[in-house]
Each structure stands twice: as structure tokens, then as C-alpha cells.
Chain A
């Protein structure tokens, strides 16, 4: 006989989690597709009554995205332009129906190589907060995602929030997703970039992340370092040409060949950097589409 629980406090939730194996139910957008038409044979911990996990708030540790925050709530939140990439990704997650239910945190826990949320959160230096009985720890997002459908969650642990450190929210950002159709599409490749420039128009900080081109979305630190000191209007193509992009290890699958992904990633990286840098010359409220 399977168990179902819908605790109303985090304390109760982690206490239950300590008691055995549970599958977490939040937005349902991964839970139900994984279940398919098979009977339910796992214990279900429904975290939808945990009010403390809702919403986007400003804290002294930066921006906190509660684990129950949906993509639609991200889109409607009042956030700095550094979050534009995340908002653009939000618009490209599945469909509006999915965005209305699916949570950002669930996207991370599902840990698909094609998770739309991971590259834009990687460029924001996101950390995840993991709670268990008597313990809370924080991990950088890059350490949390361990592989295809693998995370650092240990038994008894619940992802409760995503934190964006204040310093990582500077600058302008952009996101590009490449797919074989317009909506409801799993990406062939995607890129998020955040560029911080000084008053003279020089890049002082850059963050670039690529998804769907390796088991886990990756930051391109070599490229980021080379961007620092360059003018905002640099043509990034030459820089990218010189990069080996060893961080990427794309595979051949039905959506595209490994060669194609490697080549498309270069194009998307250049366009995304240009998009983020170009956002400096656009009004802050203008959010472009995240579709390649």
C-alpha cells in the first residue's frame, strides 16, 4: 500500500521524508508523464501545501526563488535585467499550461540535460537550498546537477529554494533555445549569457552556459575569461572560433547529430552574447524572445 502525505509545514515535510522513500509531487509536469498509464506504486509527498516554499522574494542573501515557484510566476516577477535570460527561458518551457504548473525547482530536480532552467540559472550563479531533518545545506547549482537525471539530493532531502546572490544579478542577459518546432519543444541546444559592463562599455564580467550539449549544462569559463576586458560591441565569433569548447560533449540523437550540436552551440553562443551585450542599448523592460 502506498502512502500519500500533504504536510503543511516544512518541518513536517522533512520529518516524513526521513521516514522512507518518497516521490515528491509539486507542479506535476514531470511526475505524471513519468507515471504514464501505469499504476501508482510509490509513496507520494505532496509539497503543494508548503506555503513557505512559494514565491520570489528579496533576502539579504540575494533573490530567493521558493521551490514551488512556477515559470509563470518568474515571468510575472519584478526582477532586474540580469534575470532576462531566465524569463526568456520561462517563456520557452513547454507551453503556457506547463508554465502555469511546472516549477523552476522541479526542472532542476528532474535534471534533464535539456532542462530549460539550468543554463539561465548557471549564469546567475544560482545556489540551491536543501533541507532535511535538522539540517539545511546550500550547493552551487553546478554541483547539484550530477548527471543525466542525477542530482546531489540524498535520501531525506528536499530542495526548498534557489538563491541568486546579489552580485550575480548585475548586467544584462539573454537566452536562446534551438528546436525543430516553435512550441512544446525539447531543445537541440540552448545558451544563456550574462554580460556586465562598466560605464565605458567594457565587459567586466561574463557568464555563458550551454545546455543540451552535454550530460549536464556547462558554464564556459575559458570563454567567459576571454570576454572580460572586451568592448560590449565585440563580434564574439572570432573569440569563439578560437575556443575548443571542451566543456561540451554533445551526443547524436533524434533531435540532431553531435557535430550539428557542436556547430549550432557556437552560433548560439555568439548570438546570445551579442543579445546580452546589445541589451545594454535597449530599454530595460524590453524582453526579447528566447527562440533561436
Chain B
């Protein structure tokens, strides 16, 4: 059914021989090698494949090849004409690019707009870009970039410059890079389409891999005659099942709990669990429906909600209990009994899907006897070790080469395609490639834990919190993944950044046959904070005090002990965040009162919520290692293994290294994460990279600087630079030159080289959860202003004002980008996101915020330095999402008088709550 199709791409005539029904997207990517347009959903739901067809934006995944015959197609690769276009430049300058997976679609949509409407209004920009989903940025910087090119006003509130607060002293002197916002070092390829994500560099001769998955939540299965299946399908080279796995068919991010098979063994415990892979030539695999494989299924009873008294998901885990986390301090029951004011409540949250725009993808090949897996990931070394164990290989015979990663948010910490393609490459000796469809990505990878929580908080008559009890049941799905982390992290954080002398919190991770719950920006803390922060509003209302003042009164201060008994001597910035918000709070309340006058059907509401979050693993070792070498040609090579999933570690770690060395940022050459080339910088998770890997970079840079100064026999006050093969050292007026070619090379070919490891000082938690689980905490608070259509229950966000204590903003624009993106995810969690297996396995039934759903965001960067962090920096990536949902729920309550206690707060649920309360 194939035939030639001739058309024009980016000004050049092309002709391809393809099926007339082939999607234009696959023609561009697979036939023409133009991988700039991304495959995010194959259904027109995400817009990542937007290209221009005769000047009009279309989703290339929905256009038949036959329809482009004789027409002109423009892709992101055609935007730069020797130099970047004004729009590409603006995207970089405004920080409108994070992971970059949606960027090509946004650039093409905006190009179509600007060619038709050179000076668009903000609503025209939103309309034009409304068809492209972005999960990282929160859209505001994108709007600003397009408006800038159009000569319009920037679409976002200008940022307030970082505020410096007293207390603590910076441990190093800032040079030229730290504290500034250079264009991200990995930015240019993200706007030209040259960036290679997981699915963008498959070898042409790679076998395609099709995964056969359970259509049932719980089922046993038996395979039919697989040999006959292979024989009947020319081009298929093999079908592999659990029986073919050479190593230990159990993996898990936390080794002690590893329980997940790479391919299920006779029994599937959730819908979407992989049971077999079919490998073959690309065309042969394309002709197969995974349901063609002979599998006899027997469906079993299942529960997608956790039942502690239900049928066991694992026979060796009674009560379906994976783990219980617990923290207790003082006498909480006594404090509540004696409380002058006591409030209680419950809260239910949903499965939330990460919905990064890039579904999991990668390819595996043999390089001699080493299995090389090129894949999008957040955790190359964990991938390596777990994949090696599954495949029965020593870890050093597996090499993980991370590609650019199109968003992760926690889910790309777990294995997905790695063992499957690794198995095929190992069995066949041929490269094997696999890109998940959106549906299989959504079905088979981890989600945010649904939580069923209840809590009670007591205060004295003045509003000082005296005690709290919290209990949360977290639906951890059928396998452990990060369930233990959630169960342990939640009890530490469930009191919020407030002094709570009497406290008991318990988190239980309970198995079900729902999707696997794992890591998602905040590890359960966002859920727990919704419980706690909505109760704080109730407490304020019962006490008749201002909601911000109540929070400020109870805020942790330097010298306070946390609920785990950890004494925080320095760097506690929550009060500064709340104080920074105070004028905005008063203004917002006054605005609400003014606009609500005489408007019976529309009500403005204002809400506030805080967060705190410990950076790095909870009470566990968590090292990062950084290596920096000087090559004989004078190149300063930074082996930067902290995977950049869009958040900016490629840039931030380099900024820290550059200033510590005393060299300009431009002097560094980056070697990106690769288990063969970069030491282990740990996983990109737990808001740890700026803090932990940044500190390792600081230590390595310091050591390298020391080596160089010692070699030149100069004091620490000296400065140096490399002028080609010459080291130029200046101390006072004296200048010395040292030829690098005179120096001996080490085993890696460097003349100077330093490697340093940093592991945050923490302690384990005792039986009552007492100890110092984190070395650094970050803090923040946000105000949500919104309007509720009282008749329809629709929420329209007006503005979010966010104050976050980052210790030191190494790169203020990237920090703002984290804040805006986290807020967008918080908005989704609060108002629209609910993953239901079997029902919302696509991006039109599972809703994430579009460009029209994120209001202007005003960011206030608060800098209360932490003595432990590099340059005083704290983590930020997860903190930013935590306050948004509770601030929105509190604002909805302020507007309507009702608290929605089941998330998301859809219009239907808001109206139901109003009716139940007879508002």
C-alpha cells in the first residue's frame, strides 16, 4: 500500500515512499530524520508535533502522508536560518524552555501566529498556543517570550529581585556566575530541534519492540504457542517472557523492597503490567497488534483502592501493608484534650499522572560485551544497577547513556523500557528500540499516591499550636516503587513548617491493584500539606485571627526543634517568606472585598498556604560525586552527572563550579551524564541536585583550584586562567605562565583532576521517628487569588504570589521557572487531575493545565542562606508545588464558604459541596 509522496520541507523538495495513511509525524521523524517534532500522544492532545502545513499549524500526528503531497511543510528545524530566529532567541532569553519536549510545538504555533498577527494580544497568544501542552514551565515565560517578539508587553509580572535576609554567612564569595541567569547552557539545541530525546536517535537497523500488557487489573495468564506465533510472522525475531530473563526478575528503586518483575510471572497485578515483548523488524512489528499474541487470561477479583482487610496483593505482606512511617513527639493526645481550640478534618486525593510530554523511550545495543542503553532517565546509576541485576550482568557491563529527558517529575526514576530493550539486545545481539505510546506510558508507569488522610490540630487561646495528630493511608499500588519514601517522608513533614511540640503522624503505604504509585514531586508531602494547611485555615477561622498571622505566629524559627526533634540552628526562612507575602496578602484581601461588593454570582477568594521540605533522601545516605579535569589543551572539563530533566542542573552545577574555580562559565566544557564518563551524582529527585551535587561540585572545584595553586606555588589569593595550553596565574602584580604540555597526564588524560563526594549529614530516625533526617530544608508560601462562578462552580485563577526561600538563588531565572512550573502542577492537582485506570489513559480525558489555566505568577525569591548548602543554596524543585493546591482550596473556601475535601475540586465537586453546605 506504499507509494511515493513528494512535498516540500523547510524549502527543500523531498520524496518519500510511504503508506498514504502514514502519519506525517512518522514520515518526518522516521523517513526524513527530522526529529524536532515530538511524538507526545499521537492523538492531537498535546501539540508537541505541531508543524506548519502551507503556513497553518497542524498536529503532524493527525495528517495523512497523502494530504501533504505537493504542499509545503515547515518544522522547527527550518526556523533558524544560519542564526536563531527572534522567537527562538526570546524563548531562551525569557527562560521559556525547560525540558524542551514541547518547545518545537510551541515555537511552530507561535510562528504561525506571528506571521498572521505580528503584534498579538495576550489572549491571541493564549488562543494560538492553547493546543500545545507544557508540563514544566507553567507557560508564563512562554507567553512573555512570544509577546516580546510581538512587541507587546511582557505577559508576566516582572520578578522582584532576590531579597537578601540576614543570618548566616555565605561560605564562598560569589563570582560572576552564581546569582545571575545566563541562558541555560543546554538551551540552543532545545530551540532548534537538534536536541536528542529518548526516541530521537534510534539506529535505523534497530529491532522494534512491542510490549504485551495486561488488559486487566488483576489476572493470571498462560501463553499459547509462541514459537508458532514467531514462525507465522516473518520479520519477528522473538517473543520474550519472564522465562527468558537471565537474572533476578525483581526490581525496585529501594533494594530492600524490590518486588516488581520486569515481565510478570504468570500473574499480572495491575492493568498495563508487561507480560511479554515481541521483537522484530520495524515494519513487521508495526503490523502486529499486541492483542495478537496468544495469551489466555483469567481475570481475578481486584481492588484499585487500598484495602487493609482485603485480599492480599502479595501473600507475604499481611494487611496489604508495604510499610508504616511514624513520628511521635511529646503528648499529642493530651495536647488535643487540653486544647483551647481544636479542629479536625479529612481529605482524599487522587492518582495524579506525571504527564511529561516525552513518553519513555530508548534503545539498547551491545558494545563488545557491554550492554549500552541510551534512554531518557532521572537516575542513570540506579538504572544501571537494577537493569544489570535483571539481566544477570555485573553492573560494569551495563552502561546507561541518558539522553535529554523530556520531563520526569519523579516517574523516570523507576525503570521502564530499560530492562525490556536490554533483554532484546542481549538475546539477539542487535540494537533494540522502544518508545512508549502515551497510553502505555500512562498505564504502566508510576503515579502520585492517592491519599486518604485525617488530622486534628489543637492550639491554645492565643493561636499557638500545641498539638497535632495525622494519619494517612497512601495507595501504593501493587509494587513498592517509592512507597516507603512516601510513608517515611510524610510523617516528618505533616505538621508543616510550624513549631508543633506535641505530635503524632503515621503514614501507611497500602497495596492495591491500581497503578503503581511512586515518586512525584514532593513524595506525599503535597497531599499531607493539603490536609494540614486547610486545617490551619479552619483553626484561624475558629480563633477569629488572620490566616497569615496564624501561620507567622507558629512558623519555625532558627533554634526551633522540628517534630523529629531536629534542632534547626540556622537557615529557617519560613517567617521571611510569610513576611514577604504580607503586603500582597493585605492587598489581595482588600481587592476581594472590593470586587465582591454587589456581585451575587461571582465571588473572589484569597487563600494562603506554606511548605517546607527536606532536601535529599530521608535519613539515608545520599552522596553525589563530581569530577573536574584540566585537559592538556587547557579545556576545563566538568563531568556533570546530575541529569538535567529540564530543571537546569547542567547550568546550575556549572555556575557553582565556575565561581568556585574563579573561572568564567564559558571556560567550562560539560560532559553530560553517562555511567561510563561521569561519576555518580545520584538521582535527580528529592530537590537534591543543586544542594547535594552542587556541594560536590563546590568541593571538587575547590580541590582542583587548590591543586593548581599548589602546582604554581602561589597563595589562595591568586587567580588563574587557561590561555590555550598555558596556565596563566596572577597574584598581585606578578604573572606566571605554566605550559600544560610539560605536565604529566593522569589515567584519564588530565593534567589536573579533582573528584569530590558530598553526602549530607543526616541521622536515622528512631522508633518514635526522632532524629535529623535531612541536612537542609527549604521553605515557601503562596497566595492564590481566584474567582468562583457560584452557579457553575468554575474556578478562574486571578494570580498566584509565591515567596520561596531558596537560600541562595544560584540562577534566579531557573528558580523562577521551577516555581512557575510547580505552581502549574499544583493547579492541576487542585482543580482537574485525576487518573482513573482504564478511563483516563490519554491526554484528553486526563486533563493537565493548558496555557489558559495558569494565571500570572509573581515570584519573590527569599534568600536565607543555609550553612550546609553551596553558596547557601537550598533545594527548590518540589517545594514549589506543595503550597499551591492548599492555597487554592483555601481560596475556594474563602469565596464560597465551603472546603472541598475530595480532590480534584472540579466544578461538579465544588457545586456538590456548596449544595451539601446549603450555601
Contact = CB atoms under 8 A, between A and B. Distances in A.
Given A36-B43, A96-B130, A186-B845, A257 B794 contact: no
A75 B216 CA distance: 44
B227 interface: no
B852 interface: yes
Given A46-B20, A182-B850, A184-B133, A95 B66 contact: no
A244 interface: no
Contact of A37 (B42, B58, B132, B850): B42
B850 A184 contact: yes
A133 interface: no
B47 interface: yes
Interface string A68-102: 00001000000000000000000100111110110
B466 to A, nearest CB: 40
Contacts of B112: 96
B131 A98 contact: yes
Contact of B906 (A44, A72, A256): A256
A interface majority secondary structure: loop
Contacts of A41: 289
Contact of B911 (A183, A254, A263): A263
B912 A28 contact: no
Q: B21, B437, B847: which has the most chain A beta carbons within 10 Å?
A: B21
Contacts of B47: 95, 97
B849 to A, nearest CB: 6
Interface string B42-54: 1111010010010
Contact of B20 (A6, A181, A255): A6
B774 to A, nearest CB: 35
Interface string A156-198: 0000000000000000000000101111111010000000000
B523 to A, nearest CB: 26
B832 interface: yes
Contact of A97 (B1, B44, B831, B842): B44
A170 to B, nearest CB: 29
B58 A184 contact: no
Contacts of A188: 907-908
B56 interface: yes
A267 interface: yes
A178 B796 CA distance: 13
Contacts of B45: 33, 184
A184 B131 contact: yes
B839 interface: yes
Given A95-B131, A97-B131, A178 B794 contact: yes
B57 interface: yes
A196 B858 CA distance: 47
B131 A4 contact: no
A178 B832 CA distance: 13
A186 B836 CA distance: 17
Interface string A252-267: 0011110111011001
A181 B42 contact: no
Nearest to B849: A181
Contact of A36 (B131, B439, B834): B439
A180 B836 CA distance: 16
A181 B853 contact: yes
B interface majority secondary structure: loop
Interface in B695-722: none
Contacts of B127: 91, 96, 183
Contact of A257 (B59, B789, B912): B912
B909 to A, nearest CB: 8
A29 B44 contact: yes
A267 B437 CA distance: 39
B912 A39 contact: no
Contacts of A245: none
A100 B839 CA distance: 28
Nearest to B842: A33
Interface in B835-862: 836, 839-840, 842, 844-845, 847, 849-853
B852 A181 contact: yes
A31 B20 CA distance: 14
B437 A178 contact: no
B792 interface: yes
Contacts of A91: 127
A36 B66 contact: no
A191 B854 CA distance: 26
Q: A97, A254, A261: which has the most chain B beta carbons within 10 Å?
A: A97
Contact of A4 (B20, B439, B849): B20
B128 interface: yes
A292 B130 CA distance: 17
A186 B57 CA distance: 21
Contact of B844 (A6, A36, A97, A184): A184
B288 interface: yes
B851 A48 contact: no
Contact of B437 (A36, A40, A264): A36
Nearest to A6: B66
Contacts of B133: 184
A46 B3 CA distance: 15
A91 to B, nearest CB: 8
A90 to B, nearest CB: 12
A96 B108 CA distance: 12
B908 A255 contact: yes
A203 interface: no
Interface string B62-97: 111011000000000000000000000000000000
A96 B128 contact: yes
Given A178-B792, A292-B794, A32 B907 contact: no
B858 to A, nearest CB: 21
B639 interface: no
Nearest to A256: B908
A254 B289 contact: no
Given A46-B66, A183-B852, A25 B21 contact: yes
A96 B850 contact: no
A286 to B, nearest CB: 15
B800 to A, nearest CB: 16
A264 to B, nearest CB: 6
A28 B844 contact: no
Contact of A33 (B44, B130, B839): B44
Contacts of A184: 45, 130-131, 133, 844, 850
Nearest to B850: A183
A135 interface: no
A37 B839 CA distance: 17
A282 interface: no
A38 interface: yes
B591 to A, nearest CB: 22
Interface of B: 1, 19-21, 23, 42-45, 47, 50, 53, 56-59, 61-64, 66-67, 109, 112, 126-128, 130-133, 286-289, 437, 439-440, 789, 791-794, 831-832, 834, 836, 839-840, 842, 844-845, 847, 849-853, 906-908, 911-912
Given A32-B61, A96-B127, A184-B130, 5 more contacts: A29-B44, A180-B832, A180-B906, A254-B836, A263-B911
Across the A-B interface, give the 6 residue pairs with the lowest CB-CB distance, nearest first: A95-B131, A182-B852, A183-B130, A256-B908, A33-B43, A260-B908
Interface of A: 1-4, 6, 25, 27-29, 31-33, 36-41, 44, 46, 48, 72, 91, 94-98, 100-101, 178, 180-186, 188, 254-257, 259-261, 263-264, 267-268, 292
30 contacts: A6-B20, A28-B62, A32-B23, A33-B844, A38-B289, A41-B289, A48-B67, A94-B44, A95-B131, A96-B127, A97-B59, A97-B131, A98-B59, A181-B832, A181-B853, A182-B852, A182-B853, A183-B130, A183-B131, A184-B130, A184-B850, A254-B834, A254-B836, A254-B839, A256-B906, A256-B907, A257-B912, A260-B793, A264-B793, A292-B794
